[in-house]
Every structure is written in structure tokens, then in C-alpha cells.
Structure 1
Amino acid sequence: PRCTVIVLIDLGDVILNIKDDHCHSSKPEKILIRTFKQAVQARGINESTSIPQIFDEEVARIDLSTLSITALPSQREIS
């Protein structure tokens, strides 16, 4: 079957809307990485906490049993 899902994202790669359902399995690591990046970026905009500290706190929050630390973007890639 052909996947008919439509995902709208903004220029910052933030998901705005999802229409329909996937008919195939997604890659959980990509979802975790996207969520991680969005959390770091949002906190960087809304808080006075340093980016390295935010990065470390968000790394501590994610489940690294399902995602290798090497798959995460660096602080520089997120900024």
C-alpha cells in the first residue's frame, strides 16, 4: 500500500500538522532526534540557560537505549 500521509513543517523543521496515518513503520530514532532538536531550540529561545546546559539536560531526558548518542546532532548543528 502507498503511504498517503501529509506532514506540514515550517522552515525550522517544526511539525505543524499531520494529515492521515502512515501505513508503514516510522524510524523511531528520527522522531527522537527531531523532538530533541525542537526541545533544545525552544528552550534556547525561551530561557536564559546556556545552550550547552540545555543540551546536556535534554540528552539526560531522552531514552538512549533506543537511540545511540552518536546519532544526536551536536550543539553546533542545533544552533
Structure 2
Amino acid sequence: GAYYQVPLRSLRPKGLPNLWVAGRCISADHDALASTRVMAPSLVLGQAAGTAAVLDLRDEGGADHVQASLREQGAFIG
């Protein structure tokens, strides 16, 4: 089936550098938000937000590092 990717920047609210979000809180238009509220995407987004937060604390942030860590965890990246 078809899939789409969610940019990492969608999980970080502007002006709040110490906050990562998932679920209904991400930055997306109405149609995209509709599909992220389903359980599987919601779980993956939560895992991505948590991973990004930990890597930020270690000063190892950035999309490439987050994707590599998620792959090591067995997450579907796309």
C-alpha cells in the first residue's frame, strides 16, 4: 500500500525548542491529521518524538540521527 512520510519538524512546535509532540499535537493540515490519529501511525510518531527527545538531550539530534536510531529499533521509516 501507499504511505507518506511525516517531516521531523512537524513534531516540534515553533518557539518551543525543548518540546517534542506526537498524535493530534503535530503540525499538519486537516487531511494529514486524519490519518495520523489511527493507532499505527500514532505509535510510530510517538516513538519518533521520544527518540528525537533523547537524541536532543545527548546533542545527537537531527533527522539523520533520528532515522538511524529508529531503524536500529526496527521502526518502519518508509
Q: TM-score, normalised by structure 2?
A: 0.37
Give the structure with higher Rg (CA): 1
More helix, by proportion:
2
Name the structure where strand makes up a greater proportion of residues. Answer: 1
